[in-house]
């Protein structure tokens, strides 16, 4: 019996030794320890053979070490076998490894090795961690992150509010600067405040006498005086403001050859009441009686008042009350109801002879009258172009921009009166205007080049080659070109220069070459491509020797080169030399030419 027991013990020992030798051949001895990382998990102990602090792991799996990164240090969490289903970094290399976070924001690092007892922190080369998130503090909580987001949001909102405040301040300063500029312009005329009165007498419209691009002209009775009233369509309000700004300049009333301004305002009336009919019969009278304006309300809207208060050009606009106007009813148009339109109204001095164009059509002009017409017109343009700098007031130069025989009136003394400044351009309010900045209603290059009446437009306007570096000077040269055309119209209709004593039928510039309609392109070809000008009469009186000097003056006005044109002051000075003793018989000392060619 004893022998049997001994044999069993021997066989068991041999079996144990054989099993241990086989395990040593197929398994690694790895350090094993669970630092409370996995609780109540028996699989850690059941998967592989565990002997206290040693675990037998298959060689193809190897040993593994799980470390926790906390407060810039690594702490062992679990020593165990590797995972055959995942790629594991080696513990004996110094390469940087990415560490990952769990839901509690804990950061972990795992490495593997393939030697006995290699999964200890002492044998592991610890790398510099690269976090999955850009967070230098791996223990930061969700509450701390929310606080960070709140701080960022508050900072952004503060920056936005600061930006909005800066923009508001800049906008206010720009607006304030504009208002100051407007006040400065409005304060240049000492007589302005004397004109700030409402209509205190009846204004009775009588008849329509002319029509233009921007409205119509009517005769009327105002304060017992016969006046001319311009009704401007509401869509052309900017031209109304521009004309008012010109009349509001200092010293504008000093020239007797500038149309006298009386009053301005707004008038709401029926469209049916405005039925333009014109019958000049050689002048502006007698006028055809027109329907009454019995369906109207004279007022300025609150929106307009607010706008006008910010515009210096409206410093002399009147607020027309309903009781200030009286229109005599016409029986044909009584009780007619139609849509009301708010017209802009300017009241001027009335000149019964009408425009220069109609005056030349229906009246004979001799040399004496020609002298008066030419001297008065050249004086008006010279005054408009001049700069007046007095101690108490300053008048900048003004370019008319639409000078033609329709925009010139004839007064009782048969002198020229310059009018219609709705397209005019005012120079800067200082002595230096070389930078081309102007106060005008039209500021774009296209608008500056395109305005005017086509038959009187200078070549540079057709070519859109206006010198905008010195804008006001360039526009004055455009006026001189148009002045030459008007002087040509006057001289052509003068009876004394013809041997027969009979002038030809009145014609507009280039009317014979391009017919009366004369398209823009046809006139452009005549002026720009062919460099033609209206022809002078051929058969003229041999007694009027100064006709050659007059022709020279007109020719120098419409030169192709704008820089070669003479000034309005020069034209006015030459008129005195040309019309010596109210005739054209004396040869001017400046002409040096006794030729009778005209």
The pLDDT tens digits of the residues spanning 7-32 come to 667 666 655 554 555 556 778 889 88
- Report in angstroms the alpha-carbon separations of 389 from 78, 115, 430, 573: 99, 106, 9, 22
Q: What is the pLDDT of residues 174-222, one digit of tens each?
A: 876 665 555 555 444 444 333 333 444 467 788 888 887 888 899 988 8
Q: Can you read off the two tokens belonging to residue 31?
A: 């350090």
Question: Considering 402, 420, 479, 496, which one is annotated as catalytic?
Answer: 402
Q: Catalytic site residue 402?
A: yes
Tell me what pLDDT residue 277 has. 39
Q: What is the pLDDT of residues 77-118, one digit of tens each?
A: 888 888 766 677 788 776 655 566 665 567 788 888 888 888
Neighbours of 239 (CB within 10 A): 22
What are phi and psi for residue 297, nearest 5 degrees?
-135, 125
What CATH architecture applies to the domain 11-140?
Answer: Ribbon (2.10)
Q: Can you read off the two tokens belonging to residue 135?
A: 């967070």
DSSP bridge pairs for 204: 221
As a whole-number percent, the residues of the chain with pLDDT over 70 amount to 64
Would you give the distance in Å from CA 241 to the centre of its chain?
18
**Helix (H), strand (E) at residue 70:** strand 63-70
Tell me what pLDDT residue 356 has. 94
Res. 152: pLDDT tops 70: yes
Residues in CB range of 570: below 8 A, 6 or more apart: none
Tell me what pLDDT residue 158 has. 92
What are phi and psi for residue 131, nearest 5 degrees?
-80, 150
- Per-domain boundaries in the chain: 11-140, 187-350, 354-598
Q: Which whole number is the average pLDDT over 519-545?
A: 80
What number does CATH give the domain 187-350?
3.30.200.20
**Are 106 and 70 within 8 A, CB to CB?**
yes
Residue linked to tokens 């972990």: 108
Q: What is the pLDDT of residues 258-274, one digit of tens each?
A: 999 998 887 777 766 55
**Are 549 and 525 within 8 A, CB to CB?**
no
Q: Which stretch of 3-17, 163-177, 371-385 has the lowest confidence by average pLDDT?
A: 3-17
Strand 73-81 and strand 33-34: the pairing is antiparallel
Q: How many helices (H) does the chain have, and how many strands (E)? A: 15, 22
**Are 108 and 77 within 8 A, CB to CB?**
yes
Strand 107-113 and strand 89-90: the pairing is parallel
Neighbours of 21 (CB within 10 A): 9
DSSP bridge pairs for 130: 98
Tell me what pLDDT residue 178 has. 61
255: left (phi over 0), alpha (psi -120 to 50) or beta: beta
230 is in an annotated binding site: yes
Higher per-residue confidence, 547 vs 152: 152
**Are 345 and 387 within 8 A, CB to CB?**
no
Q: Which whole number is the average pLDDT over 563-584?
A: 83
As a whole-number percent, the residues of the chain with pLDDT over 90 amount to 23
Of 243, 203, 247, 246, nearest to 221 (Cα)?
203
Assigned superfamily of 354-598:
Transferase(Phosphotransferase) domain 1 (1.10.510.10)
Q: Is the pTM of this model over 0.85?
A: no
Q: What is the pLDDT of residues 391-415, one digit of tens each?
A: 778 899 999 999 999 999 999 999 9
Of 252, 250, 274, nearest to 261 (Cα)?
252
């Amino acid at each position: 019996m004893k022998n049997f027991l001994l044999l069993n013990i021997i066989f068991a020992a041999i079996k144990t030794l054989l099993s241990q030798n086989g395990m040593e051949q197929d398994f690694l001895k790895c350090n094993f320890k669970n630092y409370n990382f996995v609780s109540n998990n028996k699989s850690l102990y059941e998967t592989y053979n565990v002997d206290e602090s040693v675990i037998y792991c298959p060689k193809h799996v190897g040993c593994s070490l799980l470390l926790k990164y906390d407060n810039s240090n690594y702490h062992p969490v679990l020593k165990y076998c590797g995972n055959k289903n995942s790629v594991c970094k080696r513990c004996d290399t110094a390469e940087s490894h990415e560490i990952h976070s769990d839901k509690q924001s804990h950061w972990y690092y795992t490495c593997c090795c393939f030697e006995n007892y290699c999964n200890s922190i002492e044998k592991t080369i610890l790398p510099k961690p690269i976090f999955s998130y850009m967070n230098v503090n791996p223990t930061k909580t969700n509450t701390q992150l929310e606080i960070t987001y709140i701080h960022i949001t508050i900072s952004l909102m503060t920056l936005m509010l600061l930006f909005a405040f800066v923009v508001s301040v800049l906008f206010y300063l720009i607006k304030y600067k504009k208002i100051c500029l407007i006040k400065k312009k409005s304060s240049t005329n000492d007589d302005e405040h004397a004109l700030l009165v409402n209509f205190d007498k009846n204004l009775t419209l009588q008849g329509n006498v002319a029509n233009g691009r921007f409205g119509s002209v009517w005769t009327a009775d105002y304060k017992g005086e016969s006046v001319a009233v311009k009704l401007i369509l509401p869509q052309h309000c900017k031209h109304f403001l521009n004309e008012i700004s010109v009349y509001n300049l200092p010293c504008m009333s000093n020239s007797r050859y500038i149309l006298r301004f009386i009053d301005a305002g707004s008038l709401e009336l029926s469209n049916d009441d405005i039925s333009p009919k014109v019958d000049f019969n050689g002048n502006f009278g007698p006028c055809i009686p027109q329907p009454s304006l019995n369906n109207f309300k004279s007022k300025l809207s609150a929106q307009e008042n607010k706008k006008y208060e910010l515009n210096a050009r409206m410093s002399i606009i009147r607020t027309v009350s309903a009781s200030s106007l009286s229109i005599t009813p016409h029986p044909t148009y009584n009780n007619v109801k139609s849509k009301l339109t708010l017209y802009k109204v300017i009241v001027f001095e009335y000149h019964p002879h009408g425009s220069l164009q109609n005056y030349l059509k229906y009246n004979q002009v001799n040399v004496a009258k020609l002298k008066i017409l030419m001297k008065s017109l050249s004086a008006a343009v010279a005054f408009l172009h001049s700069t007046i700098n007095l101690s108490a007031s300053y008048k900048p130069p003004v370019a008319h921009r639409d000078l033609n025989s329709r925009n010139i009136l004839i007064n009782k003394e048969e002198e020229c009166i310059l009018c219609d400044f709705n397209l005019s351009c005012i120079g800067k309010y200082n002595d230096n205007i070389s930078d081309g900045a102007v106060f005008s209603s039209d500021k774009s290059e296209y608008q500056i080049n395109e305005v005017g009446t086509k038959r009187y437009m200078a070549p540079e306007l057709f070519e859109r080659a206006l010198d905008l570096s010195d804008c006001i000077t360039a526009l004055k040269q455009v006026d001189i070109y148009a002045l030459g055309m008007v002087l040509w119209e006057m001289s052509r209709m003068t009876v004394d220069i013809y041997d027969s004593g009979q002038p030809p039928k009145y014609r507009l510039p280039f009317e014979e070459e391009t017919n009366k309609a004369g398209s823009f392109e046809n006139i452009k070809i005549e002026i720009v491509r062919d460099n033609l000008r209206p022809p002078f009469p051929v058969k003229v009186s041999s007694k009027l020797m100064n006709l050659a000097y007059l022709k020279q003056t007109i020719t120098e006005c419409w030169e192709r080169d704008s820089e070669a044109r003479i000034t309005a002051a020069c034209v006015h000075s030459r008129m005195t030399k040309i019309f010596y003793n109210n005739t054209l018989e004396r040869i001017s000392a400046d002409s040096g030419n006794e030729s009778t060619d005209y």
